Structure 1
Amino acid sequence: MSPADPTPQVVTPAVPGSFPWSVLHDRHPKLVAGVRDAHPYGPDQRRALDALVAESLTGVIARLPADAHDAARWETWGTGHYGRRWFDVPFLFAESYFYRRILDAVGYFAPGPWQGVDPYAYLKSAEARTSSPSTGSLRELLVAAVWGNRADLSFRIGQHGGPADEGSLVVDDSAALCAALEAGLGRELCLVADNAGGELLADLALVDHLLATGLSERVAVHVKPYPYFVSDALATDVAECVSVLDPATRDRLLAAAAEGRWTLRTHDFYRAPLSYHHAPEDLRAEWSAATLTVFKGDLNYRRLVGDAHWPALTPFADVVEYFPGPVAALRTLKCEVVVGLAAGTLAALDASGEEWRVTGAHGLLQTAGLDSRPGSSPAPG
C-alpha cells in the first residue's frame, strides 16, 4: 500500500478472551507442560520452563542472557518491549520471543546433551509417520497444500478444527495459479514452508509434481534455521518426510536434489518477530530471483501482509505490493488476520455465527502479480 494509506492497528494479546489473549493465556502453558512431560529434562530446565510460563502470565518481558549468541539481535528486535507485560506488546513479538525463550530454557543452544535437540521433534515425527502424501492433478495438489496447513501442532493444542472441503475456501485463486504455472511462471519457484509433518508431505508432493512435469526447472524450499512455532519445518524434518515417501517419489526428489534442481534454503530472518516488509536485502534478493514465491501457512501470512487488524475486504494485491515478485499464499485460517475477501463471502461468514477466522475450518489460496514481474523497489515501512 502507498505511504498515504492508513496503517491498521497491530494485533496484540491485550483484550481478555480474544484469540491472541487465549494463545498466551491458555495455549502456551499447555504447550510448555507437554514439552516438560515429554523429555527427561533436569531440575534446572524444568524450573526455567515453569518460570517462563509464570513470567508470561503475570510478569514482564525479560531479556535473553547477555551471553546468548543472538542477544544483540533480539535486543534490537525487542526495542520498546522489554520490561512490559507480555499482553501489552505486539502479538507477533510475544509469540516469537516466547518460543525463543523455550529454546533457552531447555538448553538448545548451550553446550551439553540437549544442544541442538528439537523439543518438538516427538510431535513432528509422529505427525510425519501417520500422514499420507497427496496425489492428484496440479490443482488437487495445490488445494491439498492449503489443507495440509491444518497440520499445525501448536494449533492442535486445545483446539479442534471443523471439517475441511473445497467449499471452505474463502478465496480460491487456484485456476489463475494453475494457468500461471502451466505458462511457465513456476520455472524458478521459491516455496517458503510452514509446518513439518503432514503439511510438509503435501508440499513435497507438490514440489515433486512441478519438477517431474517440467513446470518448474528448479524449486528452492525455504525452512526455519531452528525450532520456532512447535511444528515449523527444519531441514531435519524435510529429511524425515522424504524418508516416508513412496519409493518412486523419494527417488525422484533425491535425484532432483543431487542435480541441484531441488534445494533447501534458510535465513535467520525467518525466525524474526517482524513482518516481511522488513526483510533484509539478501533475502529479498532470493525472492526477487524467483519467478514465483509461495508462502505457506498462517505465520507466513501474518508476516507477509502484516500482523494487523486489516479490514477483510482490503485487496491482497494492495497489501503485498511491496513484495519483489509474483506471490501466492496458501493457508488455513487459524488467526484473525485476513485480507482479500469478497463482500458477499465476508457477509456470509460473519452471518454464520462461527469464529470462522480461527477454527481452521476455512482456507484460502491467494495470488498477486501473476501477470507481471514486479521490480525489487524498497518495501514500505
Structure 2
Amino acid sequence: SFAYFTIKDRLPQILTRVIDTLHRHKNEFFEEHGEKGVEAEKRAISFLSKLRNELQTDKPVTPLEDELPDAALWNQYLDYQRNLPNGNGEPSWFQSPWLYVECYMYRRIHAALAQNPPIDNFDVFKEGKAQNFFESQEAIIALCTYFQELLKNIKDLDEKQLQEEFFKLLQVSLWGNKCDLSFSAGEDSSQKSSPLQSLENMIPYILVNDMEKAWSLLVNAKKNRKEGSNVRVDIILDNAGFELVSDLVLADFLLSSKLADEVHFHGKSIPWYVSDTTKHDFNWTIKQLGSANHMWMSRCGINWEGNLKKGVWVFRDHMFWTLPHDFSSMSEVAPDLYAELQKSNLLLFKGDLNYRKLTGDRKWECSVPFHQALNKFHPAPLCSLRTLKSDTQVGLKPGQGEQIQASEPEWMVSGKYGVVQFD
C-alpha cells in the first residue's frame, strides 16, 4: 500500500534530511551558544540516527521519555494501540496504523530538539518552508495582484459575481494544497505558475464539489445574523508557503465581502509534517509580504497585520492538532478545542492529513458517505479542501472511484485530484 511505501522510503528520507539540516547548522549553533550548542547538536543527531534505525528495522514503538506536556497523552495512546482487539500486541513501525507511526515520527523529531537545549527552539523544517515561499514568488505576486484589483470594486459586485469570486479563491486554496513538502520528502514543490489561469481546466479533477453548499451556508448565516453576533469562519491550516498565502487571501475575501466578520486560523504548536504552518510561519509569512518590494504583495501583508491587530483575524494553536488521535476523539481528548470550534459557522479543513484525521484514515469504500466516515465529529458545519495524497477517500458516487482506478491506478496518491467536501 501507499502507507508501506511512505514508511519504508519517504520517512527515512525525511529523517536523513533533518539530520543533514542539523549538520549544516553546526557553525551557527557554535556561534550562538558555543560548545554547548555543538554538544546539543551531536546529541540530537544521535537521537535521530537511532530513530531512523528503529524505523528501518521495524522495532517496537517505545513510550516517550520527555517531559513535554503532551507526553502522557502519547503514552496513553500507545497503550490503546497495544490493546486493540485486532492488533498484534506490540505496535511497531511496519505493523501499525500509518497515521499513528507517521505522527509519532514527527513527535520524536520534536523531542530530539526539545530535549537538547540550547537548540531546543530550532525548527528543522524552517528553511524548506521559507524556500517554498520564495520559490513561489511569481504565483504569490499573481494572486496578491488579482486580489487587490478585486478589492477595488468588491462593493459593486452583485451576489452572483461574489459567488464566482468565492468559488475561484476556494479553488486556489484547494489547489494550493498541492505544494506539500512531506509529500515530496522535502523536494521542491513550490507553485511556479499563476494559480488563477488554469482553474477552469481543473474543475473536472474536483471529484466532490460542494462549493455551492459552503456558499449558501455563509450567505444564510449573514442574512440570519442576530444583532451583536458575528459570522465566524475557522480555517484549520495545512502547509506554509504558497498554500498559506492562498488561505490568507481566501480569509481576507471572506471579510472584505462581508461573508464573515471574523476568521480564526488553527496552526500547529510544534514543527510538523515538514511543511505545516506554525505560529512562527504564520507571522513570518505576513511580515515577508508586508516588507516585499511589490506593491500588491506588501499591501496584502500590511492589511493582514491590521486584521490581526484589530482582532478580526485570530491565530490559535493547540496541542491536539499534533497528537495521533483522529478528530472523532477530539470532544473527549481536547474538549476545550471542541468547544472553541462549536462557536464557528463554518470550519474549513485544509489538506490531506486533516482529511485522514477527519475520516479516521481507514480503508473505506469510496462511496461511503462523508458524514458516516466523520464518526460523530461535528462541532459545526465543516468543509474539507484537500488534494488526494493518501489512499483514503469517501463520499464519491457509486462506481466513480472504480472508474478512475481503471485508467489511473495512482489517482488516490498523485495530488492530481481534489475534493471540496461539505458536511
Q: TM-score, normalised by structure 1?
A: 0.86
Letter in 1 for 2:65: P
The answer to whether 1:252 aligns with 2:235 is no
Size of the alignment, in residue pairs?
Answer: 348
| The 10-residue stretch of structure 1 (189-198 or 58-67) with the greater mean CA deviation from structure 2 | 58-67
Displacement after TM superposition at 1:62 (Å): 1.8
Displacement after TM superposition at 1:282 (Å): 1.0
Residues 316 and 67 (structure 1), Cα distance of their counterparts in 2 relative to 1, 3 Å cut: closer
Distance 2:81 2:372 in 1: 29
Counterpart position of 1:151: 179
List per-residue Cα deviations over 1:255-280 (Å, max 9, x = no partner). 21111110001111111101111112
The answer to whether 1:270 aligns with 2:307 is no
Letter in 2 for 1:219: V
List per-residue Cα deviations over 1:288-347 (Å, max 9, x = no partner). 110111100111111112111111101113333531211000000000111001125323
Counterpart position of 1:319: 373
Name the SS of the counterpart of 2:43 in structure 1.
helix
List per-residue Cα deviations over 1:203-246 (Å, max 9, x = no partner). 01101111122111000000011111111100111112212331
Letter in 1 for 2:178: R
The answer to whether 1:332 aligns with 2:387 is yes
* Contact 1:333/1:362 (<8 A) preserved: yes
Counterpart position of 1:184: 221
Distance 1:142 1:179 in 2: 14
Letter in 2 for 1:143: Q
Residues 54 and 187 (structure 1), Cα distance of their counterparts in 2 relative to 1, 3 Å cut: same
List per-residue Cα deviations over 1:92-120 (Å, max 9, x = no partner). 11011111111222x234321x1111110
Residues 365 and 159 (structure 1), Cα distance of their counterparts in 2 relative to 1, 3 Å cut: farther
Displacement after TM superposition at 1:284 (Å): 1.0
* Contact 1:297/1:332 (<8 A) preserved: yes
Alignment partner of 1:296 out of 350, 367, 374: 350
Distance 2:103 2:377 in 1: 23
Letter in 1 for 2:100: F
Name the SS of the counterpart of 1:264 in structure 2.
strand
Tell which structure's C-alpha radius of gyration is larger. 2
Query: Which ranges in structure 2 are unaligned for 5 or more consecutive residues?
Result: 27-40, 83-89, 148-164, 190-197, 223-229, 290-296
The answer to whether 1:95 aligns with 2:102 is yes
Counterpart position of 2:117: 111
* Percent identical: 32
Q: TM-score, normalised by structure 2?
A: 0.78
Counterpart position of 1:166: 203
Counterpart position of 2:74: 74
Letter in 1 for 2:183: F
Distance 1:290 1:101 in 2: 33
More contact order relative to length (CA 8 Å, sep ≥ 6)? 1
Counterpart position of 2:62: 62
Distance 2:188 2:44 in 1: 30
Residues 70 and 344 (structure 1), Cα distance of their counterparts in 2 relative to 1, 3 Å cut: closer
Query: Which ranges in structure 1 are unaligned for 5 or more consecutive residues?
Result: 1-17, 369-381
The answer to whether 1:352 aligns with 2:407 is yes
More helix by share: 2
Distance 1:275 1:254 in 2: 32
* Contact 1:109/1:116 (<8 A) preserved: no
* Contact 2:174/2:385 (<8 A) preserved: yes
Distance 1:234 1:159 in 2: 20
Distance 2:115 2:287 in 1: 27
Name the SS of the counterpart of 2:94 in structure 1.
helix
List per-residue Cα deviations over 1:28-62 (Å, max 9, x = no partner). 11111112222335433222211111101212212
Distance 1:263 1:158 in 2: 29
Counterpart position of 1:12: none
| The 10-residue stretch of structure 1 (163-172 or 328-337) with the greater mean CA deviation from structure 2 | 163-172
